[in-house]
Amino acid sequence: MHKKFNKKRIAQVAGLTLAATLLSPLAQAEVSGEVSVTNDYRFRGVSQSAGDFAIQASIDYSMDSGFFVGAWGSNVDFDDPEDGNGADIEVDLYAGYAGAIGEEVEYDVTLLYYTYPGDDVSQDYLEGSVGFYFANFHAAYWYTNDYGGSDLDYHYTELNYGWEFADNWSLDLHVGYNFGDAPDDDMGKYVDYSIGVSTELAGIGLSAAWLDNDIDSEYQFDEGSFRNDSTFLVSASYAF
- Residue 1 located in a structural domain: no
- Residue 124 located in a structural domain: yes
Amino acid 217: pLDDT:
87
| pLDDT over threshold 70, residue 4 | no
- Residue 3 located in a structural domain: no
Range of the domain at 215: 10-239
| pLDDT over threshold 60, residue 110 | yes
- Residue 2 located in a structural domain: no
- Residue 4 located in a structural domain: no
**How long, in residues, is the chain?**
240
Task: State pLDDT tens for residues 10-49.
Answer: 444 444 445 454 555 655 558 999 999 999 999 999 999 9
CATH number at residue 211: 2.40.160.40
Amino acid 238: pLDDT:
97
| pLDDT over threshold 50, residue 91 | yes
Task: State pLDDT tens for residues 178-189.
Answer: 999 998 877 889
Peptide linkage before 44 cis (omega within 30 of 0): no
pLDDT band at 209 (very low <50, low <70, confident <90, very high): very high
- Number of structural domains the chain divides into: 1
| pLDDT over threshold 60, residue 74 | yes
Task: State pLDDT tens for residues 159-174.
Answer: 999 999 999 999 999 9
Percent of the chain whose predicted confidence (pLDDT) is above 70:
85
Amino acid 18: pLDDT:
52
Tell me which of 217 and 8 has the higher pLDDT. 217
| pLDDT over threshold 50, residue 134 | yes
What backbone phi and psi angles, to 5 degrees, belong to 105? -120, 130
Amino acid 24: pLDDT:
55
- Residue 42 located in a structural domain: yes
- Residue 220 located in a structural domain: yes
